[in-house]
Amino acid sequence: MSEKYKIVACPTCEKPVEWRPENKFRPFCSERCKLIDLGEWAAEKFKVPAEDGLSEDEFGDGNH
């Protein structure tokens, strides 16, 4: 109950993200959003469709 993390908005999709040490994508909500932001220069050539809620959760839990 004592685990309180600061909530930040993902710079890419503005989804609320817990700023926790094990979130290596912070301040992004997922690897995808991080890559999108880092690859913003490329996004002008390759438009990345921002569909929230479909594959994003798979990215978040996929590190077994």
Q: Which residues bind Zn ion (CB under 5 A)?
A: 10, 12-13, 15, 29, 33
Q: Provide, rounded to whole angstroms, the least separation between the CB of residue 47 and Zn ion.
A: 17
Q: Which is nearer to Zn ion, 15 or 26 (by Cβ)? A: 15
Helix (H, G, I), strand (E, B) or coil at 52: coil
CA angle 19-22-23, nearest 5°? 50
Q: Provide, rounded to whole angstroms, the least separation between the CB of residue 22 and Zn ion.
A: 17
62, 50 Cβ separation under 8 angstroms: no
Q: Which is nearer to Zn ion, 42 or 57 (by Cβ)? A: 57
